[in-house]
Amino acid sequence: MFKKVDSSQLKVGMYIQDLSCDWMTHPFVRNRFLITSEDEIRKILKAGIHDVIIDASKGLDVEAAPTVAEAQEATEREITQLAAKPAKVVKVGLGEELQRAAQIRHQASNLVRNVMADVRLGKAVEVDQVQPVVQNITESILRNPGALLGLLRIKTKDDYTFLHSVSVCALLVAFCNSRGMDEEITREAGLGGLLHDAGKALVPDAILNKPGRLTEEEFDVIRKHPQDGYDILRKSPGIGPIPLDITLHHHERRDGTGYPSQQAGDGISELAQMAAIVDVYDAITADRCYHKGMPAAAALRKIYEWSKFHFNPQYVQEFMRCVGIYPVGTLVLLESGRLGVVVEPHETNLLAPKVNVFFNTKSNIYIKPETVDLSRGLGFGGGDKIVGHELPAKWNVDPMRFLTLAEA
């Protein structure tokens, strides 16, 4: 039986099923192992891991601990309460914005690739060349955030480093906009998002793309990238304090377990805290050479759980309302047994977005695609509801093909 336990309850003889953290957090070779020493427990606590999943059938139990299913049900009840808060209204349709968003994605990815190449050669970042791309991203997000954010979820292992920076930029712009922040601050935050990983240009590819777990020495190299990026950008004419702050502090955590300065609580700036959330969200949803990305809906729930310690809970809740409980591009299973891809969040009920349905799981066949507005009743284009999110690989489907029905 899998149970969720507080790390303070760990004892030698318990079997760790999941360390319940992002890959960069823990110092162990495996996610699953039998605890054989107090030193292993100390390492878990030092890494800032506050709760873990144990397998009570393979080791000692904690009688009063909730099962994983019980813990997930509690999280879903809390998230449901968030879903009734209003979301930003999109200005243009998804199909109308997708083509422009695809061009912006390509342009921004090439820009980041060139910036990284310049940094490796010891050149300063030319901020004047970066700002127009940030402006294009900002304008696309203001028209319809789902288009660019949906496309940016498609990454390969080869282009991850570049597209991750574009994603963090777009997500941070969307986050700032949804919180009603000043336009100039939003643009500067977007610039910081696009350049936040500039320091990774100095990390050897053998470490950056290592397929297995990193050694402690390799972790130390990775942990230098915020300071390296800050030092690089500080030498770049025209760079402001906001991009510098985001670059230096996007790996800080509210409980003081982050890096490079172990800042804690509100000692971390508002924008750096926001950048930390979007950085982790994009990282854990992407396929990498060392781990399989999780669905966006599952990632949001994981970040919601981590917000008790690592992130500002209010910011996390606002981010979830920004991207949607089921973000655009998410594959969902409906009560009717149909599969659909989320194409637009509802203004006031994030549990009832518009979806393009295209597959019947009961008969295991594709069906004629149609748009279903889950906020409407039966006979009015709705009459169905989401029962959960699904992995595309489980059904061997590509939901991104059905973001617009014209393309399906």
pLDDT tens for the chain, 408 residues: list them. 898 998 889 999 999 998 877 655 566 667 788 999 898 898 888 878 888 898 999 999 998 888 988 888 888 888 877 766 665 666 788 888 999 999 999 999 999 999 999 999 999 999 999 999 999 999 999 999 999 999 998 887 778 889 999 999 999 999 999 999 999 999 999 999 999 999 999 999 898 888 777 888 988 999 999 999 999 999 999 999 999 999 999 999 999 999 999 999 999 999 999 999 999 999 999 887 767 888 999 999 999 999 989 999 999 999 998 998 899 999 999 999 999 999 998 877 888 999 999 999 999 999 999 999 998 876 555 679 999 999 999 999 999 999 987 544
- What one-character-per-residue DSSP string does 179-235 give? TT--HHHHHHHHHHHHHTTGGGGGS-HHHHT-SSPPPHHHHHHHTTHHHHHHHHHHT
The 3-state DSSP class for residue 345 equals: coil
pTM of the model: 0.88
Q: CA–CA separation, 160 vs 156, rounded Å? A: 6
The three-state (H, E, C) secondary structure of 377-406, written as one string: CCCCCCCCCEEEECCHHHHCCCHHHHCCCC
Strand ranges for 72-219 from DSSP E: none
Taken in order 64, 69, 71, 73, the sign of the CA dihedral is negative
